[in-house]
């Protein structure tokens, strides 16, 4: 496991780097395999923002926090990742034992209408998973939708969070 600490608009001191590595090491002990962890620290409009991405055991956990102090932001983002890991482990246990209660998801915000401009292209690898794993991954990333390869039905699918808090599934068909 490698922790890549980067700074944008801020110089990452050895003390800050060591602090992030120490905090992340505690969190990642719960997984058998952990990939390269990315921590980005930046200052925007006086806010100290820390974003940490942890690829662990086939899931991607990401969190971001913003405060007026960099060390406070680090503490809060690590706490958020710990909660996400706990949520992930709880859902695994629920799937195995069926005696855990799901937390209530938050509804997605409505996008404004405007001119259509693509500002970012993103490439990613589709990993085979079932619908439940895709919903779990979407929630861990705190996204409103997630594209995945459905291992049960052998096709690309999109799972999304509806305004009522429930989930929807898009199944593309080619003509």
Query: What is the per-residue pLDDT across 100-116, written as a single tens digit (0 to 9) for each?
Result: 455 544 444 444 445 66
Q: What is the pTM of this model?
A: 0.56
Phi, psi of 38 (to 5 degrees): -115, 125
At 99 the pLDDT is: 52
**Residue-averaged pLDDT of the chain:** 81
The set of long-range contacts for 86-92, using a CB threshold of 8 Å and a minimum separation of 24, is 87/139, 87/140, 88/59, 88/61, 88/136, 88/140, 89/30, 91/136
Q: What is the 3-state secondary structure (H, E, C) of 2-49?
A: CEEEEEECCCCCHHHHHHHHHHHHHHHCCCCCECCEEEEEEEECCEEE
Query: What is the per-residue pLDDT across 38-65, written as a single tens digit (0 to 9) for each?
Result: 899 999 888 899 999 888 777 788 889 9
pLDDT band at 3 (very low <50, low <70, confident <90, very high): confident
């Amino acid at each position: 496991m490698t922790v890549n600490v980067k700074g944008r608009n801020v110089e990452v001191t050895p003390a800050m780097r060591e602090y992030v590595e120490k905090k992340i090491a505690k969190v990642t002990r719960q997984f058998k395999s952990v990939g390269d962890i990315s921590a980005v620290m930046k200052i925007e409009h006086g806010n100290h923002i820390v974003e940490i991405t942890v690829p662990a055991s086939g899931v991607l956990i990401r969190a971001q926090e913003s405060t007026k102090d960099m060390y406070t932001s680090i503490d809060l983002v690590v706490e958020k990742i710990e909660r996400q890991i706990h949520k992930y482990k709880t859902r695994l246990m629920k799937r195995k034992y069926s005696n855990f209660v799901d937390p209530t998801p938050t509804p997605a915000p409505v996008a404004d209408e405007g001119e259509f401009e693509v500002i970012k292209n993103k490439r990613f690898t589709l990993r085979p998973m079932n619908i439940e794993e895709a919903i779990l991954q979407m929630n861990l990333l705190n996204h409103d939708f997630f594209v995945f390869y459905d291992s049960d039905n052998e096709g690309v699918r999109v799972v999304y969070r509806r305004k009522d808090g429930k989930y929807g599934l898009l199944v593309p068909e080619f003509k």
